[in-house]
A and B are shown apart, each in its own frame.
Chain A
Amino acid sequence: MDVDAVVLGSGLTESIAAAALSKAGYKVAHLDVNPYYGGDNASLTADELVSWADERAAAGPSNPSYASAQRTKFTSISRSGSTLPQSRQYSISLSPAIIPSVGPLIDALIASGVSRYGGFKLLEKVAIYTGPGSVKPVPGSKEDVFKSKELSLLDKRRLMRFLMFAAGDFEGKKEFEGKEHTPFVQFLHQVFSLDGQTAAAIAYALAFCVSAAEPTLPALQRIRKYLRSTGRYGPSPFLVGHYGGLGEIAQGFCRTAAVSGAAYILAHNVFSIEIPSQSEEGRKYKIILEGLDESLTCDLLIASSGYPLPEFPRAVTNDSTDNESSNIHPIARAIVVVDRPLSFSSPEVPPASTASDAEGADTEEEEQTPQKQELDTALLVFPPSSLEGGSSVAVASVLVTGEGSISAPKGKWVLYLSLPLLEQTTRSAEALLRPYVDATLSLTVPDSASPTSTQPLFTLFYIEHPDLPPSSSAASESQIPSILAPLRSSTLLPEQADSATTNAETLFWKAVSALKAAGRRPKRRTGEGEEEGEEEVEVEGFWPPLDIVDDPEEDW
């Protein structure tokens, strides 16, 4: 099979790029070593997750291979012995994410038509952990602030003022002058007199800072983006994808690529990649896959991290300016399955008691007494030092997804815990995260029949290390066609999806120019029946306009 581009790895970035290239009219072959789509962003059934963990925890040869790269990327793996019944009804994500309603991914989903494959659900609630058994809802909008019973009137005013500032063009405002590198928590204190839990809620649950040291500018940019996402699809700025989120979305892009003609080959190891020889005419890479007679030839190779490439002076194109440099660190992760829902209304705090000082504005909604609201899809944030035994510098988060996001069977919830490791540590993922797991389980709704503490049905702990940046080996200006590597995406819960999309677009344009240099132009089918042919086309955008083909409405 001869194609323009071979893409190795089906993570979200590569899948979006493959879809864009295929839709633009290039011939694409898309490969993944794994028997599933999504690579490190995959959504897996419960049984697949167990195999995934066991394969990576097992010892194996350290020769350069995808398997050994995965064992280096995922370490400190431990899981409970139990396996889950109804395995297939779980779609458990290897990269849990919340998706801003306004941003590159949603744009790409709509522009590519992939949105028709996917389902989404609004995130119901965000809360911060404020002490044993106690959480506070985080207002996501000005309306929320207005209605809040948790905030004093003074805090409301300050918070309103801050939100107005953050939602607008703050770059030109005097409050912001000279403060872009100031730690954000300090900025909130100095400029808006916001402290304590309110400041923590803003910094960690609105701006998603991973520590108190994060600078002001990116934090404000995020808040503005999320405020502008609010209301597009509902009160929350964030969506959670059905069936495990990013892995399912990657499948949608791959299907779109296939519909436009891309070939898909899963579950095959790359046996060898042959370098095109200088002399050869129309130099191409030759890729041989294990267990497949047919070999692939291509002008351009796009390889995700972990796919071993042959050692040769190659022109790996990578600007190595990782856009979110602050978010490149290992992450301790836990995946916990429970059979009781979480509730973010703290039982011991009567509803109005915290709003001690004088109000008036918000008394009219008295009937809003929080009941034990069972949450299906929610996010809980642990600020630094908020938990005994937890981290004193980093923020941990817990994303909960239940049946509503069609990623767990009825009556089961999947909790995704993540803790960025900002400092070197020798502790295991389990030791690092156990306190957070326990604190989270203490927030589950007690079962009146058996008031024992909630026991997880399944736990998996591991540390995920950042991908190595693609080595920009001295790009000898040889005539060798290029190999492209996608940039690393942010691992921040609300940033990952958009970051992967932005990186996919960058990759797409690099691929277009590399293919142009190799003399390959995209072609699209034209005409009907006898007139049918192929015609070279120009690449005009990331996504070509969607064909408006009329529904064949006629009955037969």
Chain B
Amino acid sequence: MADGASGSAERSVQVKLVLLGEAAVGKSSVVLRFVSNEFQANKEPTIGAAFLTQKCRLEDRVLRYEIWDTAGQERFHSLAPMYYRNAQAAVVVYDVTKASSLEKAKTWVKELQRQANPNIVIALAGNKVDLVQSSTAPAAAATSESEDEADDATATPGEAPASGESDSLRQVPREEAEAYAQEAGLLFFETSAKTGEGIVELFTEIAKKIPIDQILASSRGGAGRPGAAGARAGAQEGVNLEENAAKSKDSCNC
């Protein structure tokens, strides 16, 4: 943004990131918070897009996330293999107020290890922490790592639930989930799509772990769209259907 990391020729790389987790844990909300800095209470946010894109600026490079939401196909375990293909990152979400959702998250991690890229970066996110924080302990600042201006997502800590029920709602102790994440080699965060807590760190820490050089090397000559053209085979020249149809800009949101 303002300070623009211009100067050196910036390397921008496209990274496909998929979301997984039980229905209603807040996957779509997490994306919407990250991409548009919005939250819609008590209702399913409309993604309505093939995927959303969001840039993530690191010290020496810009990473452009192509974020695929499940579009509800997780509900009856009907995610297509296409969903996992060429994903370089995954966020597996559970709800800290629902113990069974962590168990579900573990099965999604296994599914990823079975279906996805072997070197995919996986993060585990315990969402809805706002529900287990008492109003006297406002959410910690979320943006310490961000180089760009802080989003104002954390500006509404006052909305946390009435102090009385704070910790009784929590069904997944942080330590338990963290221990599992460590053992399984996952990044771990507690987040709130509602307040914005942890959201930016989540995506920034994933970005830091993505083997960007490897991706750049393997997609050389490819169409460069991670989801579509083969990131697997590297040297394969794919056909871009829109190319001769209409020279559309590389818009993604429809």
Contact = CB atoms under 8 A, between A and B. Distances in A.
A242 interface: yes
B241 A110 contact: yes
B146 to A, nearest CB: 7
Interface string B163-187: 0000000000000000000000000
Interface stretch (A68-76, A179-187, A260-268): A260-268
B90 interface: no
A553 B228 contact: no
Contact of A549 (B49, B75, B237): B49
With most chain B CB atoms within 10 A of its CB, the pick from A36, A106, A242, A265 is A242
B46 to A, nearest CB: 6
Contact of A403 (B35, B54, B233, B252): B233
Interface stretch (B78-86, B93-101, B124-132, B208-216): B78-86
A255 B50 CA distance: 8
A263 B76 contact: yes
B200 A556 contact: yes
Contacts of A404: 233, 236
B8 interface: no
Nearest to A549: B253
Interface string A253-290: 01110111101111110000000000000000000000
Given A116-B228, A551-B252, A268 B239 contact: no
B229 interface: yes
A113 interface: yes
Given A259-B50, A404-B233, 18 more contacts: A110-B242, A110-B245, A113-B254, A118-B241, A119-B223, A233-B239, A233-B241, A259-B71, A264-B72, A268-B76, A403-B233, A403-B236, A404-B236, A406-B233, A551-B251, A551-B252, A553-B55, A555-B55
B72 A116 contact: no
B53 interface: yes
23 contacts: A37-B80, A115-B241, A115-B242, A116-B228, A119-B238, A120-B241, A122-B239, A232-B244, A233-B241, A239-B239, A251-B80, A263-B75, A268-B76, A406-B232, A406-B236, A410-B233, A529-B40, A547-B253, A551-B251, A552-B53, A553-B55, A555-B148, A556-B56
B10 interface: no
Interface of A: 36-37, 88, 106, 109-110, 113, 115-122, 232-234, 239, 242-243, 248, 251-252, 254-256, 258-261, 263-268, 292, 403-404, 406, 410, 525, 529, 546-556
A539 B236 CA distance: 40
B73 interface: yes
Interface residues of B, number: 58
B48 interface: yes
B21 interface: no
B57 A264 contact: no
A106 B241 contact: yes
B232 to A, nearest CB: 6
Contacts of B47: 259
Nearest to A525: B46
B76 A266 contact: yes
Across chains A and B, which 8 residue pairs bring their CB atoms closest together, nearest first? A549-B253, A258-B71, A264-B78, A251-B80, A115-B241, A266-B78, A265-B76, A120-B239
